[in-house]
Amino acid sequence: MLPDLLNADLALTALMHAADLPWLASPLPGVERRPLFRIGGEKARATSLVRYAPGSHFSAHLHPGGEEFLVLQGVFEDERGRYPAGSYVRNPPGSSHTPGASEGCMIFVRLQQFHPEDSEQVIARLPQAGDQLLFANAHEQVHCKHLQPGAPLLHVNPRGLECLVLQGSLASKNFNLHPLSWLRLPPGAPLQATAGPLGARLWLKEASPTLGL
């Protein structure tokens, strides 16, 4: 059963090693979740990993507060198209779809966390190497960042920050992150760390404090 409140105090640092969490069943067969952040019941403001078994799907639903997701494995599908691993998608507030995965997939997804003025739909691809700005507006920036082995990382973080490790590792005196580790830092808490021996590939979001990060 999913908790109604998880890492709900947005003024505190939150860290979840998602690869170590159990998969929890959703209301629909073949769709499972690993919650990272939640405020609310089944229709929550939430950040999660979601896994679709081959041939599974979720019923049609509306995203009143928007949805953004990153396809980590397999191919995610809805009536607009197919999104292979490495796809980054933003569906703005008021959008709807019927998602599924004929071949199976896993996604990292954030629900109901858009700024109310954000109405842009975005489909982008993560780069194979190097850094890339995936999305930016007045309220937030979303990046894919690559670090070489042993490279330092410093974000002063005036607005708030989320980080998902996609590959490699990242370490500081306070934490050790590995693939699928998720970190949320409140505004003013700098991210200062060093990439591990295999380097690191990161999804990073810098967001305005009005989003509650």
At 78, is the secondary structure helix, strand, or coil?
strand
192-208 mean pLDDT: 95
Confidence tier at 213 by pLDDT (50, 70, 90): very low
DSSP 156-177: --SS-EEEEEEEEEEE-SS-EE
Amino acid at 20: D
Q: What is the pTM of this model?
A: 0.95
CA dihedral 111, 17, 156, 10 (to 10 degrees): 50
Between 27 and 135, whose confidence is greater?
135
Confidence tier at 80 by pLDDT (50, 70, 90): confident
18-46 mean pLDDT: 93
Domains of the chain: 5-123 (2.60.120.10), 128-211 (2.60.120.10)
Q: Which residues are CB-contacts of 9 (< 8 A; sequence separation ≥ 6)?
A: none
